[in-house]
Structure 1
Amino acid sequence: MKTNEVPQDKGNYKNRDQSRKVVYATDEKGEYTTVNSDGWEVEHLATIQAWDQAKLELEEVLDGIRKGALSPLAYFMKKNLMDTGILARHVGKWGWQVKRHLKARVFAGLPESMLQRYATTFNITVADIRNFNPDTAEQH
């Protein structure tokens, strides 16, 4: 895209004074340069759809916790936009082990040291994990 074609759709950022996006475009010499953009409506709509999908998935996780099928770890994983592979790398476990820990039955038997690894990863306390209440969880 050329510098004069960079989208400038105003109104796509919450804080108009400070939020601008830097994108790469080609100048008149055909060389890459950075250009400030006020946003792009298509990108903005795609981002809104992605966040709506994330909220929907988070609500599904909360329902799974309420039903006793999932552990609170599933909530914190989803809330932090992680999957089992990413979470496994953070806590030093295999993906299949983390998948097991997402089951309420297995979670109930996890040692304090493992819960601490999860708490550190999510930047919360072990008490936050143990005392998690899906009905009072922040959903945004």
Structure 2
Amino acid sequence: MSLSTDTVDHRKTRYDLPATLMACLWRGVLGRCPRCGEGSLFRKWLKPVDSCAHCRLDISGQRADDLPAYIGIFVTGHLLAPVIIALVTGFALSATALLAIIIPLALVMLLGLLQPSKGGVIALQWWNGMHGFRKERAPEPSE
């Protein structure tokens, strides 16, 4: 087949939609567009782009609200609990020394989890067609 007979319509580009919810969430956690996985999801640290630069997905309708902060607090608390227990039972630290270790560690962990959590929430909303997103996946066949 020669190249001259092939016609390519660039306006109807197919995107590699994620096959599973976990693949979609992973794209969001990495800060990538949940639809194509190519474009950046954020223009600033916690400010999502209005639309994907690669596939033009409109992201402006997302409503992550406080859920990313709750996820960050939940994960930080559960990861720090064993650390706190180990510090209290294994070392003779004063309350001031304990707070000087735990508070900065908690803040760094929480701030580090906020953007991935927000990306995951936005990806979850896209996957389910919530808050202005259109459900683009074909329904899975029921067995």
Q: Report the TM-score range of the alignment, normalised by the length of the smaller protein.
A: under 0.3
TM-score, normalised relative to structure 2? 0.26
RCO (CA 8 Å, sep 6+): is it higher in 1 or 2? 2
